[in-house]
Amino acid sequence: MNYQAQLNLGDVDSPIPMIRTKETLDLLSANDVLKVTVARDSAVKNIKTLIANNTFELLQEGKEADQFVLWIKKV
């Protein structure tokens, strides 16, 4: 999947992944896609809450090695 920005947050504790994701998405243009990589399930849940409460769309979710990967579109 094509994306315009990428965040690799690894094993960073919450709420930092959600905050960094929001900051990055705010800088993107409408219809741009952000690829976010995190290691913790709690970070995924927090990012999904962020998406649900803002004008973002979760395009795809998956795993690469031991990391969770989310592709998020700014609507």
Residue 57 has pLDDT above 90, yes or no: yes
What would the two tokens of residue 70 be?
């989310």
What is the residue type of 11? D
User: Which of 45, 48, 46 minimizes the C-alpha distance to 59?
Assistant: 48
Predicted local confidence at residue 14, as pLDDT: 86
Sheet holding 67-74, edge to edge: 5-10, 33-38, 67-74, 56-64
Reported as a pLDDT band with limits 50, 70 and 90, residue 60 is very high
